[in-house]
Chain A
Amino acid sequence: MEHANKSDVLRQGVIVFVFLALLTALEFFVAVQIGATVLLALIAFVKVGLVMYYYMHIYRLNLQDQDLDRHSDQYKLGTSRIGLWLFLLSDAFIFGGLFVSRFNLLGLGPLPLSPDSQFIAVTITSVLLLSSFFMNRAEVSMEHGDRRGFIVGISLTILLGLAFLAGVVVVEWPSAISAGVTPSSNAAGAVFFVMTGMHAFHVLTGVIFLSIVLRNGSRGLYSAEKHWAVESAAVYWHFVDVVWIFFYPALYLIGKLI
């Protein structure tokens, strides 16, 4: 895939995003019309598969590096990738634990969230998916030496990330609190705030990470040949999106059959 031309790869990013959007729409339809939790899970796995393969390029962990000199950039890139994915795996345990707690405490029932919350949630979910789209664009641009494309893409990612944060902290949380769902109201409130809070914290750290990468990138520190910071920031960002792909239906869509 490294040898494909830039416009092909960019187009691939668009196609993946279109599928993600369609799957999100289907997921919402399934939730309100059918209430089939298994189908919701299936859709989530397909979305995650798309993000992990096409945006996070997890297959790069499998690249041949046996013949390489252990001091070469290629080799170090390979080990850096393993390190990053191990870190993501450890982070996944935290989110996985929270995810399991939701079902342990609340079963397959819904959280007592208002219709306003549903609307806010579908909006911020779209914002986050769109941010992954632009992050992919930024990374692909950098891979092909397009510094301007990289700067535009990463800036849009940061803006959308901030919009997601505002959506959660400034709009959704007060809305939930006024509906009686607070961190200390009951199990459902605790689950809701810890899950969205932990995730939002990761979005915040992601935005900080991306801002540093943007600054360095604007100063010409990265190139098509050496841009590990960009790749790692992108993979981290997509990971945060993957977490939300599981958290959104778990918090908002299960048990919402009308």
Chain B
Amino acid sequence: MNRRLISIGTAILAVLLLAAGVLVATRRPSLRGSVINPPAPAADIKLTDSNSQPFALSAQRGKVVLLYFGYTNCPDECPATMAKLKLAMGTLGDLAQNVQVVMVTTDPARDDPAQLKKWLTGFYPTFLGLTGTADQLQQAYNAYGVVVENGGETHTTYLYVIDPKGNLRLTMVGPDMDPQDVVDDVQTLLKGY
């Protein structure tokens, strides 16, 4: 009676171990931010960057783009977000060159390319600001659900994360997020996940 118990028990245990083994082998990384599933192609943005050059989101293939909507006179949320992104870029080290942080201004009246460049490069040299005509900017705001109020304020503090294939993969709340989560997700996306 015990021999039968041992054989059946071992068989069941073996099946469970096999299942566990298969699941370990086929593990896929998980993303920390709010995942957009299935990935949706990120709406293109064509604006002028803080170097006064034309910028197209669709031309950023091969890099992870961290897209934010803010303004340089923002008292707290935008600097907080940029500070966290600066920390993340530092942690990423060599991988940082494959990451493009972009901030679309919500206050084009005060944020010209020079002002954007001065404010953003103060955080990290490769951070880019984007501005344009009212129509161009409104198109970008609409595409990402950003509502802009007077003076540049918005209620959107999302960081939109776009993968190297141009798909919008996840969002994080800029001022609240953990820079390590940004690092982890950027690394995961750069691996092609």
Contacts and interface: CB of A to CB of B under 8 A. Distances in A.
A39 B1 contact: no
A43 B13 CA distance: 9
A33 B16 contact: no
B23 A1 contact: no
A11 B9 CA distance: 14
Contact of B1 (A12, A29, A36): A12
A46 interface: yes
Contacts of B17: 26
Interface residues of B, number: 15
A34 B24 contact: yes
A4 B6 contact: no
A24 B143 CA distance: 50
Q: Among B17, B20, B24, B27, which residue has the most Cβ atoms of chain A within 10 A?
A: B20
B6 A30 contact: no
Nearest to B5: A15
Given A34-B24, A257-B30, A43 B16 contact: yes
B13 A22 contact: yes
A26 B16 contact: yes
A1 B6 CA distance: 16
Contacts of B37: none
A23 interface: yes
A34 B2 contact: no
B19 interface: yes
Nearest to B12: A46
Nearest to A39: B19
A42 B16 contact: yes
A8 interface: yes
Interface residues of A, number: 23
B158 to A, nearest CB: 22
B5 A39 contact: no
A257 B27 CA distance: 11
Contacts of B30: 257
Contacts of B27: 33-34
A46 B16 contact: yes
A36 B25 CA distance: 13
Given A34-B23, A34-B24, A257-B30, A12 B2 contact: yes
Contacts of B20: 26, 29-30, 34, 36, 39
A11 B2 contact: yes
Interface in B2-34: 2, 5-6, 9, 12-13, 16-17, 19-20, 23-24, 27, 30
Interface of B: 1-2, 5-6, 9, 12-13, 16-17, 19-20, 23-24, 27, 30
Interface of A: 1, 4, 8, 11-12, 15-16, 19, 22-23, 26, 29-30, 33-34, 36, 39, 42-43, 46, 50, 54, 257
* 10 interchain residue pairs of minimum CB distance: A34-B23, A19-B9, A36-B23, A12-B2, A30-B20, A15-B5, A11-B2, A34-B24, A33-B24, A46-B12
30 contacts: A1-B1, A8-B1, A12-B1, A12-B2, A12-B5, A15-B6, A16-B9, A19-B9, A22-B13, A23-B13, A23-B16, A26-B13, A26-B16, A26-B17, A26-B20, A29-B20, A30-B20, A30-B23, A33-B27, A34-B20, A34-B27, A36-B20, A36-B23, A39-B16, A39-B19, A39-B23, A43-B16, A50-B9, A54-B5, A257-B30
